[in-house]
Chain A
């Protein structure tokens, strides 16, 4: 009886260890990937962007953007060659671009064409006064279809 039991153990032991190995790999890989999710990219955390759309709230079609940039102290932030890139959150959508004109210190305007309803991200880029690169991302959720 004992030998029968032993033979059964030896016959199935590799399969059990194989199962445990597979489960361990699955669990380990899941934990590793779940733990390493990067935080969303922080772009110029000290800069604040306020956007007014015309028409507002934003709808599909041409839209005028009135943008106000301020620094952490609330003072107007001057950025050279300020441009905006609009991206949808769905893959397969080509981005739209526009250059913004400075109307007053920290105040800019430009026109952007929203090609489809849905959630958009606007990426503002330009040159800081200290020579550094300015980049700020702003979510524009729920652009509506007229």
Chain B
């Protein structure tokens, strides 16, 4: 914990009284230009608008452009650039992709005319809907070869816009982001490894804050008929109360809390990546992750889905698919794929995590239940899972980053009949595979080390007197997953679009 100077802490600060700087951590908001921009009320719109315009171009190209994926901006930008940049920005910064999310722009415009009236149903206030959609996206991606299909990719983008708009048109607050959006859940988990977090600068100032605007919203001093002024700056729509917020889970970097805080006590602070994964106890709006089975299931999909998604891009997947088809006497593609997903996302995690938890429980004397043991330790696999996503998405991005130039040139000349951007420079690609492969191994190794460190920390809390024995099974699971990911990345990528027929 960072030492604080009590003399610099403002006591009983009233609204609009800035507190002293009690936290010496790097704060992105303290930077001259970037800080001012991020605090500015219109900053999110400024970031969202170009992304929305690019999305519109992508949709148009998906439906009216070439049907060949490498020449279509929808497939190229979605599956190469968006995914690659997303994981890199999260790795080196924070969840700025959620901040610039274009799906939120239509709903913001709609909310200027009509406000939603329903609350998100209580029985759906968990990660269940997002988990189903996360698995669904991975499944549909493989079944319909989305990477090779501009039209289907465009349909998915349009569907995403419609779903986000419909959910937030009907339900209050940020229901789509918190409970539905699979990309958002991916970002939440990945950003546990980010070096930046939205956090309070001085926790002591929050204890004396009377208005709690960071979550309640900031009201105008002019009182209306209800005796309270209208909200002029909303608070956190994902119900994260800054005083009890830990890390980046469920945080979309929307900056609402930063602008709402009357004490200027919320910043974008540097922190140790992954540290929040080992944190114990309850946190705002999430509770105790050790008691949240839905979070554990989400992590399982995040980690094992990463390995599966990468494995599906290499040729040995054919052999496994054929084996499944022969064994189960299946002829259609979707049941084979369903069996593969069941193996990778249900059977394998159940065996590995169940076995490791059973052994760790024994080390701790059996005081903690099996499910809770799984909940506590599974978080340690998030860094490795992120490493696998980084290696996979990084491969596509680094090897194909420059293809956006000729594809854009081609799109413009195709659409207008004039080569306004010049003739397509098809020779532009990206880094050679020989250079990208060590990068992939680097990402995987970082994930391995971070996962082992988090598991070690969790084991210390879980079984203080028998830490090594509690840690060992999870270290073994981590190393096994790391080895399988390394093997997958060492295989030649096999960009296939065919399936069992």
Contacts and interface: CB of A to CB of B under 8 A. Distances in A.
Contacts, number: 121
Nearest to A123: B68
Contacts of A37: 151
Interface stretch (A73-81, A82-90, A102-110, A124-132): A82-90
Interface residues of B, number: 46
Nearest to A28: B162
Interface string B116-132: 01100000000000000
B315 A145 contact: yes
Interface in A111-144: 116-119, 121, 141-142, 144
Contacts of A94: 70, 400, 403, 406, 426-429
B417 interface: no
Interface in A21-52: 22-23, 25-26, 29-30, 33-34, 36-38, 40-41
A87 B69 CA distance: 9
A87 B68 contact: yes
A118 B493 contact: yes
B67 A38 contact: yes
B400 A92 contact: yes
Interface string B168-197: 011000000000000000000000000000
A88 B70 contact: yes
Contacts of B495: 88-90, 93, 116-119
A55 interface: no
Chain A: interface size category: 35 or more
Contacts of B151: 37-38
A117 B313 CA distance: 10
B41 interface: no
A57 interface: no
B79 A92 contact: yes
B155 interface: yes
B170 A19 contact: yes
A49 to B, nearest CB: 17
Contacts of B55: none
A115 B170 CA distance: 49
Contact of A89 (B114, B145, B170, B397): B145
Contacts of A36: 63
Contacts of B70: 87-95
Contact of A90 (B148, B166, B397): B148
A29 B145 contact: no
A91 B399 CA distance: 11
A92 B498 contact: no
> Which one of A38, A95, A141, A145 has the greatest number of beta carbons of chain B within 10 Å?
A95
Nearest to B147: A90
A75 B117 CA distance: 70
A61 B396 CA distance: 20
A93 B162 contact: no
A95 B400 CA distance: 11
A97 interface: yes
Contacts of A116: 492-495
6 cross-chain pairs, A with B, having the tightest CB-CB distances, nearest first = A92-B400, A118-B495, A92-B80, A89-B148, A90-B495, A94-B429
20 contacts: A18-B117, A22-B169, A29-B158, A29-B162, A30-B159, A33-B158, A37-B151, A87-B71, A88-B495, A89-B148, A90-B147, A90-B396, A91-B400, A92-B70, A94-B400, A94-B428, A94-B429, A121-B68, A144-B315, A145-B494
Interface of B: 63, 67-72, 75-76, 78-80, 114, 117-118, 145, 147-148, 151, 155, 158-159, 162-163, 166, 169-170, 315, 396-397, 399-400, 403, 406, 426-430, 492-498
Given A90-B148, A94-B406, 6 more contacts: A89-B495, A90-B495, A91-B69, A93-B400, A117-B315, A142-B496
